[in-house]
Chains A and B, each alone.
Chain A
Amino acid sequence: MAMRHLVTGQTSCPADGASSSNNPLNAFANALLGQSSKTPALKELPGSVSVPSISDFGTAAPLSTIPGSENEFKQDQRPLARGADFIREGPVNDWVESFRPPGVPEFGAAESRFAEFDQIYNNAGTTFGPPLDGPPQRVLSGVLHSFLASGRAGVPFQPVPVPALGLSESDKQCIRDRSCIMARHILADQPEEYIQAQVNTLLHSLDIDNRMRGPMHGQYPEMEEYWNQSQSSMGPASMHNASDKWITEFGNQNNNPESWAHSFEQQYGPNGWASEFEQHQSQMAMGQMGGANMANLAAMEQSRMLAQTLASNNDPKFQMSRGELIIEDNQVKQGSASQSNGWADEFQTQYNANANSWVDQFAHEELSQGADKWASEFSSEHHQGALNESWVDEFSKLNVTDEWAEEFSGGGFGESSADPWADEFQEQLSSFKQSSGASRGVYVFSEMNPYVGHPNPMQEGQELFRKGLLSEAVLALEAEVLKNPENAEGWRLLGVTHAENDDDQQAIAAMMNAQEANPTNLEVLLALGVSHTNELEQGEALRYLYRWLQNHPKYGGLAPPQSADSPYGPDVVRLFNEAAQMSPEDADVHIVLGVLYNLSREYDKAIASFKTALQFKPQDYSLWNKLGATQANSIQSADAILAYQKALDLKPNYVRAWANMGISYANQGLYEDSIRYYVRAVAMNPKADNAWQYLRISLGNASRADMIAACDARNLDALQKEFPL
């Protein structure tokens, strides 16, 4: 052990900037000593094996977890061959080879530490539990690999037929728990439903039922004891070599994360990282509940003060580490854009863990005195912490550090404490998550749906829609399309309902599904054109409206097929005008023209088109709303209100028209009035996020800051009582 320390101690000070884990001597020593030293240690517990080697990794591993640092870069670029050759000559060769997962060519030198880990766990497996050796293990890792790969590539995991693996209950438990965590992690940007669906598919393939976590297994009391110690307050989970193996494989597949996995395991025990994630999960969940989270608020305050301190500190060390974090931060953002950037991508998913080890390292190296307190604050609130770093950086660029910080805390924005700020931050985080899913056109289903299992949800949905119970109709129609995903009409009506309910994102997602089921439905194409217009997405809108023309039985001949991909606005307008000349009494052509003129911001022409269409369809409430909205956008708010009123006379539960009413009043500076209409809109559809946002703005403008809390808490009772219509 001592000799190993001596030898591996070198890793913390690589002489020529070579990657520390690339040190062949280290690999050799690990291979040799790791093997001989583990036998006694294993008599105890797997976790305890890692304890003596903290000194090996305590300094070296966290260093390499900072993305953008030299080490990482080299690891990514360096050919694996050298290390692999070396390790092949070591006595560990057979072990390593036997653990090479399918699809991964060779263990590189960087993986040598992992190889050691593997041995330990493998031995632990034979000592403590049924091993997953031989073909079943290969099969399992293959399945998990493809799950991970699909997660990263953003494609849904396809179920695969798997032969009976003979997994024990504890194996299953473990796989179930770990795959939930991993899936949340990898698919962090996906909606919860999607993640669950993915995990379910995986578990189903492995013949594991996805029931909730069972009671703790009592097979290994010692292990349980250690486990409880290592995570003090965490809930039950079990530890097994199959899933640890998975971590290892996951690491091997992506050069980078092994180092963080290592450092984590060193610090928190083999399952520490999982508990760490679980903590984050529960933290996030708590934050998203929107309740006053005192711990969060305190930490926010703390990090704000810290940021001030940092900003006024000229210590070059500080400046440097700040710079590093900024790079991290930038990479986080670019990660989603450039998928080819392997570690940036990886980093995005492993963001949480990295932030932690950074803090640890920071505490180690730079602030040995008194750093512990804020470091732990930081590690529990690393999201905010990291962001604060960039905030600090902004300060130094602006050269207005103190003034700004003071203004910020002093309530220069109209709110005098950090609390609403913290609240908003939480809200922001959750809304960010939501919108990233929805904006990709992924339909987000409601969680609790009483209509699932209804004998005829389609009919029920149509009925509810006719009655104007839009939110209720959404549920029934969701149940329908869950039952019959190919039902184009079900999807279409769902889309229409969402549009009337003032939710264009969901409307688009539903209409996309409708279009998939029936690519030529004119109503669907028009609805997609309108919704994209509302989202100010001109290119998309034009494409769908052009396709409307192409697929029209009468006017299809007008549209040359070659310009379907990127139609030119004025050309499309010309073609529709030709269509209008062909049949001047076709209201639909005038409607599309009205939308097109909205796109080109020729509002007078748009108004004329809608008015023409209304001559043929005077009972079409959505048409009245379109006229009103166009008038509002061209600053004829008084006229707009008349048109909206007409729409509401025809359909009293038309949420979109209520919200538009509010907008018209707000744009005229009549904030008190606008509030009443917004409140009506959100009371009818509490999921109308736009209306909530506008309501908040109007409350501020109307000097009704006293009601902003009720708005943030989405307290409809209080708002309706205060602002009756």
Chain B
Amino acid sequence: MDGSSLKSAQLLEQMRLHLATDAGKELTKKVGLVYQLNIAPKKLGVDEEIFVVDLKKGEVTKGPYQGKPDATFSFTDNDFLGIATGKTNPQIAFIRGAIKIKGSISAAQKFTPDIFPKPAKL
């Protein structure tokens, strides 16, 4: 996550730490799927940075997944943050064309705000 200027990178860093906690381990048991996130700074599909949220192994890494992720999402920095913090409903974002999804739909459906830790505010 270092060196990324995306806002999402901060949240994903928190996610990485979160997965080491008891609540995070619970999450890997419950979901058990691998998501690849292609996050664009401004415009969908342009200058994407790729992250993998591996809820099988319980880790977050930068770069494409080695193998086939259960679902791959493409969205912008802001849209991802909106989804992760519950501001944006993923279905609505999908309908608006703000998310592109590849892979299993049932896996995609489990990609909801509650898998992400919430950032506390200073």
Contacts and interface: CB of A to CB of B under 8 A. Distances in A.
Given A407-B109, A635-B18, A663 B118 contact: yes
Interface string B93-116: 011110011100110010001100
A634 B23 contact: no
A538 B7 CA distance: 8
B92 A425 contact: yes
B28 interface: no
Interface stretch (B31-39, B47-55, B60-68, B83-91): B83-91
Given A536-B119, A697-B113, A404 B105 contact: yes
A502 B102 CA distance: 36
B93 to A, nearest CB: 9
A320 interface: no
Interface string A395-418: 000101001100110001100000
Given A394-B97, A667-B23, A428 B88 contact: yes
Interface in A516-541: 530, 533-539
A310 B97 CA distance: 17
A50 B118 CA distance: 59
A633 B21 contact: no
Interface string A611-641: 0000000000000011011101111010010
A396 to B, nearest CB: 13
Give the interface residue-count category, chain A.
Answer: 35 or more
Contact of A536 (B7, B18, B26, B92): B7
Contact of B91 (A413, A666, A689): A413
Contacts of B21: 635, 637, 667-668
A660 B121 contact: yes
Contact of B120 (A421, A595, A632): A632
Nearest to A536: B7
A390 interface: yes
A407 B97 contact: no
Q: For the complex, would chain A's binding face be called helix, strand, loop or mixed by DSSP majority? A: helix
B39 to A, nearest CB: 13
A504 B94 CA distance: 27
A613 to B, nearest CB: 12
A390 B95 contact: yes
Contacts of A196: none
A696 B86 contact: yes
Contacts of B1: 601
B57 interface: no
**Size range of the chain B interface in the assembly:** 35 or more
Contact of A390 (B10, B88, B97): B97
Contacts of B121: 502, 504, 534, 629, 656, 659-660
Contact of B43 (A337, A530, A666, A669): A337
A433 to B, nearest CB: 13
Nearest to A606: B122
Contacts of A330: 97
Contacts of B119: 534, 536, 633, 663
Contacts of B117: 635, 667
A539 B92 CA distance: 30
Nearest to B95: A391
Interface in B3-18: 5, 7, 10-11, 13-14, 17-18
Contact of B105 (A407, A669, A690): A407
A424 interface: yes
A431 interface: yes
B22 A668 contact: yes
A502 B42 CA distance: 26
B105 A536 contact: no
A668 B27 CA distance: 11
A701 B30 CA distance: 12
Nearest to B5: A538
Nearest to B82: A435
A701 B97 CA distance: 27
Given A413-B91, A669-B26, A694-B86, A533 B118 contact: no
B121 to A, nearest CB: 4
A387 B96 contact: yes
B7 A697 contact: no
B122 A388 contact: no
A268 to B, nearest CB: 29
Contacts of B113: 693, 697
Contacts of A404: 105
A571 to B, nearest CB: 16
Contacts of A412: 106, 109
A697 B114 contact: yes
A435 B13 CA distance: 25
Contacts of B96: 387, 390
A252 interface: no
B122 A668 contact: no
A598 interface: yes
Given A538-B5, A601-B13, A660 B97 contact: no
A630 B122 contact: yes
Given A428-B89, A428-B92, A633-B14, A666 B120 contact: no
A333 interface: yes
A383 B88 CA distance: 18
Nearest to A622: B122
B87 A693 contact: yes
Interface string A649-681: 000000010011001101111000000000000
A667 B18 contact: yes
B13 A690 contact: no
Given A601-B10, A693-B85, A696-B86, A666 B118 contact: yes
Contact of A669 (B13, B23, B87): B23
A697 B23 CA distance: 15
A630 B5 CA distance: 20
Contact of B17 (A425, A537, A538, A634): A634
26 contacts: A329-B97, A337-B42, A387-B96, A388-B95, A390-B95, A391-B95, A400-B105, A404-B105, A408-B91, A413-B109, A421-B91, A424-B92, A533-B122, A535-B7, A538-B7, A538-B10, A595-B122, A625-B122, A628-B120, A629-B122, A660-B121, A663-B118, A664-B120, A668-B22, A694-B86, A696-B86
Given A425-B92, A534-B121, 20 more contacts: A390-B97, A391-B94, A394-B101, A400-B105, A413-B109, A421-B91, A424-B92, A534-B122, A536-B10, A537-B7, A601-B13, A629-B121, A630-B122, A634-B17, A635-B18, A659-B121, A667-B18, A667-B117, A690-B87, A697-B113
Interface of A: 329-330, 333, 337, 387-388, 390-391, 394, 398, 400, 403-404, 407-408, 412-413, 421, 424-425, 428, 431, 435, 502, 504, 530, 533-539, 595, 598, 601, 625-626, 628-630, 632-635, 637, 640, 656, 659-660, 663-664, 666-669, 689-690, 693-694, 696-697, 700-701
Interface of B: 1, 5, 7, 10-11, 13-14, 17-18, 20-23, 26, 42-43, 81, 85-89, 91-92, 94-97, 100-102, 105-106, 109, 113-114, 117-122
